[in-house]
Chain A
């Protein structure tokens, strides 16, 4: 391939995209060079994904020009994008589960003649060797880890001859080790003269992998800097528009009280496979108990079992110790029973719109979800929820046209604020959250961390399932590490390293390693 070291691959000129009243991108200018990795940085709803979707042919700009390889182009569909050598790896994978890696890779290609599996495998192998991917062309997608699926997505794009690659939050679901592997591959592609864009919220990754950083704020292009000339603090300030402190405050609560005791919890799924095996631990009021683990290690089942949404095997116990010292068994009760027992249990589930909230309803009606049964009579009282909705909007700075707006029309961060706001307003004694900051920008994430810490200092037992180990280590008092549905250890958040936890996530530790 012939290319100039600093040849411009893509230039976006004054690109504007509106969705109705909302201006997602306002006259954005962006330049991407060959042989570089560009980080695209910005808060939630700042228009990063929209901008990249216009390159990938998902959206069409309302105004402005896109120049690829020095030519004015109109990218009307993903196919046009492929023709121009642009490939995007989306946040949510678009793979067919029952197909093999190779079948997924060639899916949609219009090649004449018979499907030549051998030739495909050879070409896939060629690509893998060149950039250092680890991929088995004959493996079915349903047998793959998240990281392997991502590899298939990247190879798929390369197979189509892409030399401009866009990765939308590729590290959100990876372990630190997997992330390192991905970055190594990205560097190989860069060395090969490809142009790469990575969208990420994790600043240390930006510093680690990229050559240049472009920042968007509220749809506007703020500017770009060479990575060597900046640091996380400066980047955050650029992104947010004002100075932000990047430390998570971790005060110690005066008093710890035992609140939830989980004993020998075993949960099977409907196929009879163990999702949790003999899990035991205690969650204390006045501390944040972090739960780390590769996604799908049983985090979901654990929280749902405590919330009364899972059926557990015999011999399992989840005891709630109320402030008077009385014990209540939570297993076998549904969420309503648990609430009726006087247990104030708040739960921010992973699936915000599919479980925690009703997307089609407005803010008021979503606040009502937890309180609609209060009050006498057949009619639901909407006065208190309305007030609560207004409070949450004010206190957590939710960006919404009004409290009568459907929740699914809000951006991800604002949806999360609505959910967390409602759950905290219940004055809980136990607060559980699953991936509370997934996909949220720095500002919102810190708001959530502070809310968790505030609850902890009030004596609430906070259980925080997270994926960013840096955050878990800064936020949590203790961290329980899950591996394949088993506890591989409980460690002190103040004196454990990221590598230790990473290792525990991937292999079960000697039981004696438990702190």
Chain B
């Protein structure tokens, strides 16, 4: 093609890939991460004139710098992972459960209630009661929007979102009721002296039980979604309600059942936080994790094992960001910028995994 014509081959064309090998896909993700670190480094340098390498080293130290920090990172990763596992069946069903935040809170309230009111129960019984209470509370919080969707086709996004506000108010009410010491406007550490209802330490560490519970859930959910009849129903309903009806699947029942399950697991996340980590309850107990976990669930395409990796990455970034904020006297927004840049690149890399970019042929 000579250059005299008005139409030229486009400079860049984008075409869909038909398939990509696993190593290549992970290669693209790795490149994205490296690029993210470079760009974030340039931004850091431009704003605060600090060596990016030093800043990254500080981030690493913040997240994994000491055994205590390693365990704090693991604890928070488990909490995030637990919520993401809970969200997986709902989102796989294309049910936009934005209400994990509230489901975690009510699970936490139920746990705190048991810790405060049944201190005399033997420890194993108390644990059973706490976990059941948190499952029921979270389950109900998921069940309500599920029923409304099934019966009256209400918009689940708005519904679950509003359920969060109800849960927050309920938490405020509980905090006021259980206030300790009076006037502090907080519950304080529950059973600080007796440690009743606290997770026991296993192998000398406080958070081993968290890991065991969440890993069991991860394996269980993976099997449930992939191999069970109910998991199959969830996939069909998520792909096409018409196909589900055609196959004789009771779509309403699946909505209700799956949302109860989703809420129940988020309730367990509340139990883990209150009984297994903070030993207190406040409106900040869920801490926005209910929303971040949505990203985890989607990025992992509902594969609970991939979720482990993504939860860890997000918590790592969060911890590192806090560390550089305090070390270099930056405010926390500066560290959020870094987290944002890294997430942008990781999310953006999915585009290059699904699409190929063709440049104009050299011969023209």
- In the complex, A409→B16 CA distance in Å? 12
Of the listed stretches A132-140, A208-216, A254-262, A354-362, chain B binds A354-362
The yes or no answer to B359 lying at the interface (CB within 8 A) is no
Contact assessment for B242 and A351 in the assembled complex, using a CB-CB cutoff below 8 Å: yes
Q: A19-B18, A360-B239 are in contact. Are A368 and B232 (CB under 8 A)?
A: yes
Contact assessment for B229 and A380 in the assembled complex, using a CB-CB cutoff below 8 Å: yes
Within 8 A of A (CB), among B232-260: 232-233, 235-236, 239-240, 242-243, 245-250
- In the complex, A359→B247 CA distance in Å? 14
The yes or no answer to B228 lying at the interface (CB within 8 A) is yes
Shortest CB–CB separation between residue B199 and chain A, in angstroms?
30
Contact assessment for B246 and A355 in the assembled complex, using a CB-CB cutoff below 8 Å: yes
Instruction: Indicate with 1 or 0, residue by residue over A355-397, a CB within 8 angstroms of chain B CB atoms.
Output: 1111111000100111011000011100000000000000000
* Pairs A–B under 8 Å by Cβ, sample size 17: A19-B16, A21-B19, A22-B18, A60-B9, A60-B13, A72-B5, A354-B240, A356-B243, A358-B239, A359-B240, A361-B235, A361-B239, A369-B243, A370-B247, A372-B229, A378-B229, A380-B227
Instruction: Indicate with 1 or 0, residue by residue over B297-320, a CB within 8 angstroms of chain A CB atoms.
Output: 000000000000000000000000
The yes or no answer to B17 lying at the interface (CB within 8 A) is yes
> Which residues of A are found within 8 Å of B239, using beta-carbon distances?
358-361
Q: Which of A72, A336, A360 contacts B250 (CB 8 A)?
A: A336
The yes or no answer to A335 lying at the interface (CB within 8 A) is yes
- In the complex, A80→B5 CA distance in Å? 13
Q: Which residues of B contact A (CB under 8 A)?
A: 1-2, 5, 7-10, 13, 15-19, 227-233, 235-236, 239-240, 242-243, 245-250
Shortest CB–CB separation between residue A347 and chain B, in angstroms?
7
- In the complex, A353→B5 CA distance in Å? 44
Q: Which of B16, B17, B228, B248 contacts A380 (CB 8 A)?
A: B228
The yes or no answer to A184 lying at the interface (CB within 8 A) is no
- In the complex, A373→B2 CA distance in Å? 64
> Which residues of A are found within 8 Å of B248, using beta-carbon distances?
308, 334-339
Q: A21-B18, A357-B243 are in contact. Are A369 and B229 (CB under 8 A)?
A: no
Contact assessment for B236 and A349 in the assembled complex, using a CB-CB cutoff below 8 Å: no
- In the complex, A353→B239 CA distance in Å? 10
Nearest to B246 among chain A residues (CB) is A355
Total interface residues on A, CB under 8 Å, equals 44
- In the complex, A356→B246 CA distance in Å? 7
> Which residues of A are found within 8 Å of B235, using beta-carbon distances?
358, 360-361, 365
> Which residues of B are found within 8 Å of A71, using beta-carbon distances?
5
The yes or no answer to A73 lying at the interface (CB within 8 A) is yes
Contact assessment for A354 and B242 in the assembled complex, using a CB-CB cutoff below 8 Å: yes
> Which residues of A are found within 8 Å of B242, using beta-carbon distances?
351, 354-355
Contact assessment for A80 and B229 in the assembled complex, using a CB-CB cutoff below 8 Å: no
Shortest CB–CB separation between residue A10 and chain B, in angstroms?
14
- In the complex, A382→B245 CA distance in Å? 21
> Which residues of A are found within 8 Å of B13, using beta-carbon distances?
60
- In the complex, A335→B233 CA distance in Å? 15
> Which residues of A are found within 8 Å of B246, using beta-carbon distances?
307, 309, 335, 347, 349, 355-356
Contact assessment for B247 and A72 in the assembled complex, using a CB-CB cutoff below 8 Å: no
Contact assessment for A335 and B245 in the assembled complex, using a CB-CB cutoff below 8 Å: yes
The yes or no answer to A240 lying at the interface (CB within 8 A) is no
Shortest CB–CB separation between residue A307 and chain B, in angstroms?
7
Shortest CB–CB separation between residue B7 and chain A, in angstroms?
4
Q: A335-B246, A336-B248 are in contact. Are A74 and B19 (CB under 8 A)?
A: no
Q: Which residues of A contact B (CB under 8 A)?
A: 19-22, 60, 65, 71-76, 80, 307-309, 334-339, 347, 349, 351, 353-361, 365, 368-370, 372-373, 378-380, 409
Contact assessment for A358 and B243 in the assembled complex, using a CB-CB cutoff below 8 Å: yes
> Which residues of B are found within 8 Å of A19, using beta-carbon distances?
15-16, 18
Contact assessment for B229 and A373 in the assembled complex, using a CB-CB cutoff below 8 Å: yes
- In the complex, A359→B16 CA distance in Å? 17
Shortest CB–CB separation between residue B16 and chain A, in angstroms?
7
Contact assessment for B7 and A76 in the assembled complex, using a CB-CB cutoff below 8 Å: yes
18 more A-B contacts (CB under 8 A) besides A19-B16, A369-B236, A378-B229? A20-B19, A60-B13, A76-B10, A309-B245, A309-B246, A336-B248, A339-B248, A349-B246, A354-B242, A356-B243, A358-B236, A360-B239, A361-B235, A361-B236, A368-B232, A372-B229, A372-B232, A380-B231
> Which residues of A are found within 8 Å of B8, using beta-carbon distances?
74
Nearest to B15 among chain A residues (CB) is A19
Contact assessment for A72 and B245 in the assembled complex, using a CB-CB cutoff below 8 Å: no
> Which residues of B are found within 8 Å of A22, using beta-carbon distances?
18
> Which residues of B are found within 8 Å of A337, using beta-carbon distances?
248
Shortest CB–CB separation between residue A426 and chain B, in angstroms?
12
Q: Which of A71, A74, A309, A353 has the most CB of B within 10 A?
A: A74
Contact assessment for A20 and B243 in the assembled complex, using a CB-CB cutoff below 8 Å: no
Shortest CB–CB separation between residue A344 and chain B, in angstroms?
13
> Which residues of B are found within 8 Å of A308, using beta-carbon distances?
248
Contact assessment for A355 and B240 in the assembled complex, using a CB-CB cutoff below 8 Å: yes
- In the complex, A346→B1 CA distance in Å? 56
* In the complex, the 3 A-B pairs of residues with the closest C-beta atoms, listed nearest first: A20-B18, A336-B248, A335-B248
Nearest to B245 among chain A residues (CB) is A309
Contact assessment for A335 and B228 in the assembled complex, using a CB-CB cutoff below 8 Å: no
> Which residues of A are found within 8 Å of B16, using beta-carbon distances?
19-20
Nearest to B20 among chain A residues (CB) is A20
Shortest CB–CB separation between residue B2 and chain A, in angstroms?
8
> Which residues of B are found within 8 Å of A309, using beta-carbon distances?
245-246
Nearest to A22 among chain B residues (CB) is B18
Q: Which of B9, B229, B236 contacts A379 (CB 8 A)?
A: B229
Q: Which of B5, B7, B231, B245 has the most CB of A within 10 A?
A: B7
- In the complex, A73→B1 CA distance in Å? 8
- In the complex, A249→B17 CA distance in Å? 43
> Which residues of B are found within 8 Å of A307, using beta-carbon distances?
246
> Which residues of B are found within 8 Å of A378, using beta-carbon distances?
228-230
Contact assessment for A354 and B245 in the assembled complex, using a CB-CB cutoff below 8 Å: no
> Which residues of B are found within 8 Å of A373, using beta-carbon distances?
229
- In the complex, A361→B246 CA distance in Å? 16
> Which residues of A are found within 8 Å of B233, using beta-carbon distances?
372
- In the complex, A353→B243 CA distance in Å? 8
- In the complex, A447→B5 CA distance in Å? 49
> Which residues of A are found within 8 Å of B10, using beta-carbon distances?
60, 74, 76
- In the complex, A338→B245 CA distance in Å? 13
Contact assessment for B7 and A73 in the assembled complex, using a CB-CB cutoff below 8 Å: yes
Contact assessment for B229 and A75 in the assembled complex, using a CB-CB cutoff below 8 Å: no
Q: Which of B1, B17, B229 contacts A20 (CB 8 A)?
A: B17
Shortest CB–CB separation between residue B220 and chain A, in angstroms?
12
Shortest CB–CB separation between residue A306 and chain B, in angstroms?
13
